[in-house]
Amino acid sequence: MDIRFCIKDNMKKLPFIDKLTDAEKQLVYQCSSIRDYAKNSGINAFSEACLGMIYVIKGSIRVYIISEDGREITLFHINADNCCILSASCVINDIGFDVQLMAGEDTQLLAINAGAVKKLMDCNIEFRCYAYELSTNRLSAVVRSIKEILFDHFDVRLARVLLALYEKNGKKNIKITQELLAQEVNSAREVVTRMLKTFARKGWLEVNRGCIVLKDIEALTELSNK
């Protein structure tokens, strides 16, 4: 598909597109690009050339931070048909920390450069309200993730992540390594391995190489609601 046609076609799906004037839509068209990322590749949102606002055409993005000791903490995911404004922290000064972005699967993005985002923020109050509402929602997800890490038992968190993966893919056979699962649940791989063995002994799931097969959705759901 021609790149410019792909941009124009996906612009129609932007949740804020109806808030823009014709001139502003043309600005977005001229200042947008299509970017493709392979699974598990980093998305450099905070380079000298700020990535700006992104819209996920297909795939998903894992948003995380890295602690001083190198530990990765997953904050939330951005799935297809959703925008991310945290990638435009160079434009929104109230975003006071840098997050890391990684493609959770083969991912395609529509990226609107920082200059265009800033101009829209300055000139269109409806877009500015949308951008701040989106950033507030994302930051609420950050707080929720940190709260779960601090206050929820690990088995509960693991059950929630497994169920989220099941709901996303619609399959009980979840293709994921224990290392990647550890990233999702914000824990060490060894801890994940032990808890998976506990779940397996209870008959809730089956652990195979590179995948986990859920056996008792009801039991996992009951645990996740604690």
Contact between 112 and 32 under an 8 Å Cβ cutoff? The reply is yes
CATH number among 3.40.50.80, 2.60.120.10, 3.40.50.970, 3.30.420.40, domain 3-150:
2.60.120.10
Give me 7's structure tokens: 């941009």
Give residue 88's pLDDT: 56
The domains of the chain are located at 3-150, 152-224
- What order of strands is seen across the sheet that includes strand 107-112? 32-37, 107-112, 53-58, 83-84
The total of other beta-carbon atoms located within 10 Å of residue 92's CB is 19
Question: Whole-model pTM?
Answer: 0.84
As a CATH number, domain 152-224 is 1.10.10.10
Give residue 48's pLDDT: 46
Average pLDDT per block of 10 residues along the chain, 226 residues long = 89 96 97 94 66 92 87 91 76 63 94 92 95 89 91 96 93 93 93 97 95 96 94
Give residue 97's pLDDT: 60
The residues, any chain, with a CB within 8 Å of residue 89's CB and separated by 6 or more, are 46, 50, 95, 97, 98
Give residue 52's pLDDT: 82
